[in-house]
Amino acid sequence: MSLLRHLVTGGAGFVGSHLVDRLMQAGDEVICLDNYFTGRKANVARWIGHPRFELIRHDVTEPIRLEVDRIWHLACPASPVHYQFNPIKTAKTSFLGTANMLGLAKRVGARLLLASTSEVYGDPEVHPQPESYRGCVNTIGIRSCYDEGKRIAETLCFDYHRMHGVAIRVARIFNTYGPRMLPNDGRVVSNFIVQALRGEPLTLYGDGRQTRSFCYVDDLVEGLIRLMNGDHTGPINLGNPGEFTIRRLAELVRDRIDPGLALIEKPLPQDDPMQRQPVIDLALRELGWQPAVPLERGLEPTIAHFREVLEA
C-alpha cells in the first residue's frame, strides 16, 4: 500500500505538532504548513530533515497547490489573547483559510478535517452541549471573530460536501491542554501553571465557580485520528466530559507546585461562558472514543513542560 500524504495546517502549533508526531510515527508522509503566528519550529524540530517530512511557511489565507490525500485543517490561533490580537485576521484565517483548504481538497480529492470548536456553542443555554445544540453566540462581541469564524468554517465544509462531494470531517474541540501550550496564551491551564511556577498568586476571573472541561492533548489527537479515519462526517464533540470549576483547577495546580500560594479574584471578561461541557455520546458510539487521561495525570507532563520553558 502506498503511503498517505498528510497536510497539517497549523502543524507547528500546540495540537498540530502532537498530531504531526502521531502521523510521522505511523510511517506516513507529512507536510506541516504554518505561518508561525502562534506556532514554533521547535515543536516539529525533531522531524526536520526526515525524508517523509516537509515544513512550509505559508499563510492559509492565500491559496496553495499541493498533492495530498488528507488535510488536517487546524490553522487558526486558538487562545483569546492571540485571536483578539488581530480579530480581522482571525476571521479571515477561518473564512478564507478554510475556503482555500476546501478548494484544495476538492481539486486533489483529499479528505479534510476541520478543527472546529466548542465556541460555536457560545454561552450555551443548554448544558452539557450535544452536537444538535445550535449555540448562543454574540455576533458582535470580542470573541466573535473566532466563534463566528469557526461557524462559517463549518458551513463552508458542509456546502463543499453537498455541492462538490468533498469528504469532510468536523471536530468540535473542547478545551485541550498539554505540553507545548504557550506560556503567554492566556488560557486558564497555562495561566495557573505559569503563575504558580513563578511563585505568584493564581488569578481567578469571577468567583471561580464557572466550569470547564479539560481534555489532555494525547486524547484529543486520538479522537481526531479516529474521526479522520472513520465514516462519520460530524460535527462531533471531542472533549473531556469531566467538569471542573476553575477554582478546583487552580487548587489542583497550586497543590502540585506550591500549596502555600494564594488564589485571588478579578472581574470576568466579556462573553466568558459560565459553563462548557461536552456530551461525547456520539464520539463514543461512532468512533469508540473517550478520553483516557484524567486531569490529575495530564497536569504532570504539562507542568513539566512549563517548568522547562520557564527555566530556558
Ligand X SMILES: NC(=O)c1ccc[n+]([C@@H]2O[C@H](COP(=O)([O-])OP(=O)(O)OC[C@H]3O[C@@H](n4cnc5c(N)ncnc54)[C@H](O)[C@@H]3O)[C@@H](O)[C@H]2O)c1
**Active site amino acids:** 146
- Angstrom distances, CA of residue 287 to CA of 78, 280, 294, 303: 25, 10, 20, 30
The stretch near ligand X (CB under 6 A) out of 73-81, 157-165, 204-212, 293-301 is: 73-81
CB 173 within 8 A of CB 238: yes
* Residue 304 exposure: Cα atoms within 13 Å on the Cβ side: 5
Give the closest residue to 271 by CA, choosing from 144, 184, 145.
144
Q: Dihedral, CA atoms, 141, 276, 93, 138, nearest 10 degrees? A: -20
Which CB atom, from 71 or from 261, has the smaller least distance to ligand X? 71
Strands 176-177 and 263-266: unpaired
Burial class (CB in 10 A: 0-12, 13-18, 19+), 230: middle
Instruction: Tell me the sheet residues that pair with 117.
Output: 173
Q: Write a three-state SS string for 90-133.
A: HHHHHHHHHHHHHHHHHHHCCEEEEEEEHHHHECCCCCCECCCC
Q: Should residue 80 be labelled a site residue for ligand X when binding is judged by CB under 6 A? A: no
Q: Should residue 76 be labelled a site residue for ligand X when binding is judged by CB under 6 A? A: yes
Q: Should residue 98 be labelled a site residue for ligand X when binding is judged by CB under 6 A? A: no
Element (H, E) at 156: helix 144-164
Q: Where do we find the cell 466568558? A: 272
Q: Should residue 192 be labelled a site residue for ligand X when binding is judged by CB under 6 A? A: no
The whole-angstrom separation of Cα 154 and Cα 111 is 15
Binding residue for ligand X (CB under 6 A) from 7, 72, 97, 193? 97
The stretch near ligand X (CB under 6 A) out of 71-79, 161-169, 194-202, 301-309 is: 71-79
Q: Should residue 39 be labelled a site residue for ligand X when binding is judged by CB under 6 A? A: yes
Q: Should residue 15 be labelled a site residue for ligand X when binding is judged by CB under 6 A? A: yes
The stretch near ligand X (CB under 6 A) out of 14-22, 160-168, 224-232, 254-262 is: 14-22
Binding residue for ligand X (CB under 6 A) from 24, 31, 68, 74? 74
Binding residue for ligand X (CB under 6 A) from 32, 37, 218, 226? 37
CB 210 to ligand X: min, Å? 16
The stretch near ligand X (CB under 6 A) out of 36-44, 136-144, 194-202, 229-237 is: 36-44
CB 2 to ligand X: min, Å? 27
Binding residue for ligand X (CB under 6 A) from 6, 29, 31, 38? 38
Q: Should residue 223 be labelled a site residue for ligand X when binding is judged by CB under 6 A? A: no
Q: Should residue 75 be labelled a site residue for ligand X when binding is judged by CB under 6 A? A: yes
Binding residue for ligand X (CB under 6 A) from 7, 8, 10, 123? 10
Q: Should residue 60 be labelled a site residue for ligand X when binding is judged by CB under 6 A? A: yes
Binding residue for ligand X (CB under 6 A) from 24, 31, 68, 78? 78
DSSP state of 10: T
Residues interacting with ligand X, by CB under 6 A?
A: 9-10, 12-16, 34-39, 59-61, 74-78, 93, 97, 115, 117, 173, 175-176
